[in-house]
Amino acid sequence: MNLPVTRYYGSKRRLLDKIWAALTIHQIEFNSVLDLFGGTGIVSYYMAQNGKSIIYNDVLSFNCEIAKALLCSPRGSFTETDALTLLQREEGRKYKSIIADNFNQVYYTPDEDEIIDIVVQNIQYLEDEKKASAYYVLFQSCMIKRPFNLFHRKNLNLRTNFVKANFGNKVTWEQSFKDLFLKFTKELNEFQFEILPNVEITNTSALNCCKHADLVYIDTPYFPKRESSTITYHNRYHFLEGLMYYAEIPNHIDRRKVNMEIGVGKNLEFEKRSNYIRDLDELIYKHRNSIIALSYTTEGYPSIQELEEVIRKYKQTTHICYLGKHGFALNRNNAERQEVLIIGL
Ligand SMILES: C[S@@+](CC[C@H](N)C(=O)[O-])C[C@H]1O[C@@H](n2cnc3c(N)ncnc32)[C@H](O)[C@@H]1O
């Protein structure tokens, strides 16, 4: 299946066929899926392509917009003209300059800060059907311009000090917003459905989500085996989450932090190592009447055996499916890392 590139930390894009194969081999039958930690929406997208009804959930609202763009906005509803119009100041409209005023030299160049200010405010005036697609195009462009596609470090200098002009990343970072908007609008129109699948999107923390489905897919944040300071999803993507609450950004910036972290959307459920087993136990109990499919890695905390024990408290049968090695090429510590799917029936 042809799938959009996601640029998201922990995306399961490369594992989808293997997850699907594991469910097929174990003859798991289901019509509906609750994708509780939906992220990029790629798992939901794959399941929807395979005819399943979907409930997508993520605690970060910018992710929900990305999912809405991919799953709930019909092909052709957002055009290249729409994308280019977003980049222009509209006559008679008053613009704030919140990003330019507060994030000078933090994540983007001053020209780019100004563009982000304009685009976010223009999106507010769009008709509902186009909004998610507009956010998709903005967020993908913002991510691709960042070193490592992340926001937990102030490291614009990595980009601007890089001298080799033809080095791959440098070329990617320096693409204009205009070119990127055109690229991502084209991509979105390639992947959006012509006839929309059966999809519902919710934006809450997993333990607060009161939806149910035949199969619950659980892809929580991971912790490394050894105790170390935790970088949460909110730390990694606070800037994009902040853009969803544009006018409120100045009230939520943590000015003690070098990276000017924006506090909106912060949530520690499943992001605290010490509470992880307890959170998971509560979640599995809540969905004890559904099929459970939990993704994790062999190099994480808790161990696969500990995770299986939690699932076994509420499910009669479990299958541990090893999906192969997916270590990061440059990180030798991770060379043995295997992705795992634990199924609970
Ligand atoms: C490993 S990623 C999921 C990746 C996703 N399966 C994909 O392929 O793109 C974990 C996701 O959980 C979300 N998250 C973190 N804590 C959460 C919570 N308590 N409830 C719901 N979502 C949460 C994060 O925002 C992140 O998108």
- The response to whether residue 279 sits with its C-beta less than 6 Å from ligand 1 reads no
Would you give the DSSP letter of residue 18?
H
Q: What is the identity of the amino acid at 168? A: G
Q: In the beta sheet, which residues pair with residue 297?
A: 339
Cα–Cα distances (Å) from 128 to 69, 125, 139, in that order, read: 11, 9, 17
Predicted structure pTM score: 0.96
Single residue among 217, 252, 267 that ends a domain in this structure: 267
Examine the domain organization and report whether 342 and 254 are in the same domain: no
- The response to whether residue 271 sits with its C-beta less than 6 Å from ligand 1 reads yes
Examine the domain organization and report whether 101 and 247 are in the same domain: yes
| Of 304, 210, 9, the residue nearest 294 (C-alpha) | 304
Question: CA-to-CA distance for 8 and 70, rounded, in angstroms?
Answer: 15
Whether 103 is in a domain gets the answer yes
CA of 39 to the centre of ligand 1 (A): 5
Q: Residue 166: pLDDT band by 50, 70, 90 thresholds? A: low
Q: Are 6 and 69 in contact (CB under 8 A)?
A: no
Examine the domain organization and report whether 96 and 208 are in the same domain: no
Both structure tokens of 105 = 């030299």
CATH of the domain at 305: 3.40.50.150
Give the position, in ligand 1's atom list, of the atom nearest the Cα of 63.
27
pLDDT of 113-138, one tens digit each?
999 999 999 999 999 999 999 999 99
Examine the domain organization and report whether 175 and 127 are in the same domain: yes
Number of domains in the chain: 2
- The H-or-E segment that residue 63 falls in is helix 61-71
Please determine, for residue 26, whether its predicted confidence score (pLDDT) is greater than 70.
Answer: yes
pLDDT of 67-117, one tens digit each?
999 999 999 999 999 999 999 999 999 999 999 999 999 999 999 999 999
Examine the domain organization and report whether 241 and 331 are in the same domain: no
**Segments forming the whole domain that contains residue 314:** 1-61+198-230+273-345
Whether 120 is in a domain gets the answer yes
Please determine, for residue 333, whether its predicted confidence score (pLDDT) is greater than 70.
Answer: no
Examine the domain organization and report whether 41 and 19 are in the same domain: yes
CA of 77 to the centre of ligand 1 (A): 27
Examine the domain organization and report whether 149 and 29 are in the same domain: no
Q: Are 276 and 222 in contact (CB under 8 A)?
A: no
Give the position, in ligand 1's atom list, of the atom nearest the Cα of 8.
9
Give the position, in ligand 1's atom list, of the atom nearest the Cα of 40.
9
Average pLDDT over residues 196-213: 98
Q: Are 25 and 203 in contact (CB under 8 A)?
A: no
CA of 57 to the centre of ligand 1 (A): 8
Examine the domain organization and report whether 215 and 339 are in the same domain: yes
Examine the domain organization and report whether 239 and 326 are in the same domain: no
Share of the chain above pLDDT 90, in %: 89
Q: Whose CA is nearest to atom 26 of ligand 1?
A: 39
Examine the domain organization and report whether 187 and 138 are in the same domain: yes
Single residue among 244, 267, 290 that ends a domain in this structure: 267
Examine the domain organization and report whether 103 and 2 are in the same domain: no
Examine the domain organization and report whether 125 and 104 are in the same domain: yes
Q: Whose CA is nearest to atom 18 of ligand 1?
A: 205
The CB density around residue 10, as the number of other CB atoms within 10 Å, is 16
